[in-house]
Amino acid sequence: MSDPRITSSIFTRGAVDLSALRTPAPTPAPAQSGPPAGAPGGAVASAVTVVDVTEATFQAEVLERSLSTPVVVDFWAEWCEPCKQLSPVLERLAVEGGGAWVLARVDVDANPRLAQMFRVQGIPMVYAVVGGQPVDAFSGVVPEAQLRQWIQAVLKAGGVTVAEPGDPRLDEADDALMSGDLDAAERAYRKILAETPSDAAAEAGLAQVGLARRVAGADPQAALTAAAANADDVDAQLLAADIEVLSGMAEQAYQRLVGLVRRTAGDDREKVRQHLVGLFTIAGPDDPAVAAARRALASALF
């Protein structure tokens, strides 16, 4: 499963012993429509997304429910400041999930025995329970993007097929790019990459920002004409390739630059290679044209 997590070996060693909780439990109270008095956060949740759990209701609300729906257990306390950062995000994501998983909130002060059974040494502490058993966990506050990935892994472990949720951070960055606010778009993409390194969509977006800046103010036809008249003018060829990519002729742009790699050496060759790799980033690694161009580039280099 995805990070963040603690090693799953604590489960296989039997460190989390829930057997004492597998006893007939009274009928649980209905799930809260919002956080209880003193609970962190303020997300409004439906009866199938967020529930407050006690030792008396744990079997029904967590163990039995997890046989059909993954349950994420959030151990928190009123005095815990980090909990006030994490819990509202968990609540919002649970509501957003629409019942694909359930958030079970456990106040450690009111339920010390549950915290002891789960070996909770610090809060916030979050466990995923699937099929009646803990399957993964993490402690502390994590970025929302990382939390979304972790929840997706929990859902997969529970056999839940769900559409990958959109990333509002990317939507914001893409909107800035489409509106021409390149500075805002760059800041947004870089922020995503700081939180989620190697995010392919953010890397592609950042490469598009660079492309947009390079072609700003250029006359497309004049640039292509200049490149045709100066086959060994590196800057003219790079600009022509950028324009071709923007015009939907990426394969032609790749071929142009692979040919230029063959005809250049030293710093010029490296400059062209890096530019071409940047254009590959825009399309993404799964693009067949990129795969073919990468093979051609390797042949040109070696």
pLDDT at residue 101 in the model: 93
pLDDT at residue 22 in the model: 54
Mean pLDDT over all residues of the chain? 83
pLDDT at residue 162 in the model: 56
Using DSSP, state whether 60 is helix, strand or coil. Answer: helix
pLDDT reading at 27 higher than 50 = no
Q: Are strands 125-130 and 133-139 parallel, antiparallel or unpaired?
A: antiparallel
Contact 195, 164 (CB under 8 A): no
**How far is the C-alpha of 29 from the C-alpha of 293, rounded, in Å?**
61
Amino acid at site 289 = A
Alpha helices in the chain (DSSP H): 9-12, 58, 81-97, 112-117, 144-157, 168-178, 182-195, 200-215, 220-229, 234-246, 250-263, 266-283, 288-301
Give the number of residues written for the chain: 302
Q: Looking at residues 237-256, what average pLDDT do you find?
A: 93
pLDDT at residue 20 in the model: 53
Characterize 164-178 residue by residue with b for buried, 16 or more Cβ atoms within 10 angstroms of its Cβ, and e for exposed.
eeebebbebbbebbe
pLDDT at residue 97 in the model: 87
| CA-to-CA dists, residue 5 to 34, 103, 122, 126, 250, angstroms | 27, 17, 14, 9, 41
DSSP 19: G
pLDDT by residue (tens digit) across 40-70?
444 333 346 999 999 999 999 999 999 999 9
Walk across the sheet containing 71-76 and list its strands.
50-52, 102-107, 71-76, 125-130, 133-139
Backbone angles phi, psi at 32, to 5 degrees: -70, 145
**Which helix (DSSP H) or strand (DSSP E) does residue 120 occupy?**
none
**How far is the C-alpha of 2 from the C-alpha of 152, rounded, in Å?**
8
pLDDT by residue (tens digit) across 135-193?
889 989 888 888 888 998 888 888 876 555 567 888 899 999 988 999 999 999 999 99
Read off the pTM: 0.49
Of 135 and 259, the one with more pLDDT:
259
Instruction: Kindly list the catalytic residues.
Output: 80, 83
* Residue with token string 């958030």: 103
**How far is the C-alpha of 13 from the C-alpha of 164, rounded, in Å?**
33
